[in-house]
Amino acid sequence: MIGVKALRLALLAAGTAGGLSGAAYGLLNGQAGHARRVIGPPAAGPLRADGVHLPGDVGPVPRAELPAGTRPLEFAVLGDSSAAGLGVDFPAELPGVRLARGLADELDRPVALRTHAIVGTTSRELSGQVEAVLRNPPEIALILIGANDVTSQLAVSTSASLLGKAVRELVAADVQVVVGTCPDLGAVRPIPQPLRSVASRWSFALARAQRREVEANGGDAVPLADLLSPEFLARPAEFFSPDNFHPSAAGYEAAAELLLPVMCMAVGAWQGGPLPAAPTRSEAAEARRPTSRLIAHLNRRLHHHRPNP
**Catalytic residue check, 292:** no
**Catalytic residue check, 226:** no
CA distances from 222 to 52, 69, 263 (A): 25, 34, 10
Counting beta carbons within 10 angstroms of the beta carbon of residue 66, is it exposed (0 to 12), middle (13 to 18) or buried (19 or more)?
A: middle
The one catalytic residue in 184, 229, 246, 248 is 246
The one catalytic residue in 80, 105, 149, 243 is 243
Report whether 118 contacts 56 (CB < 8 A): no
- C-alpha 227/C-alpha 29 separation (Å) is 29
**Catalytic residue check, 229:** no
The one catalytic residue in 81, 123, 159, 229 is 81
Bridge partner list, 176: 140
Could you list the active site residues?
A: 81, 243, 246
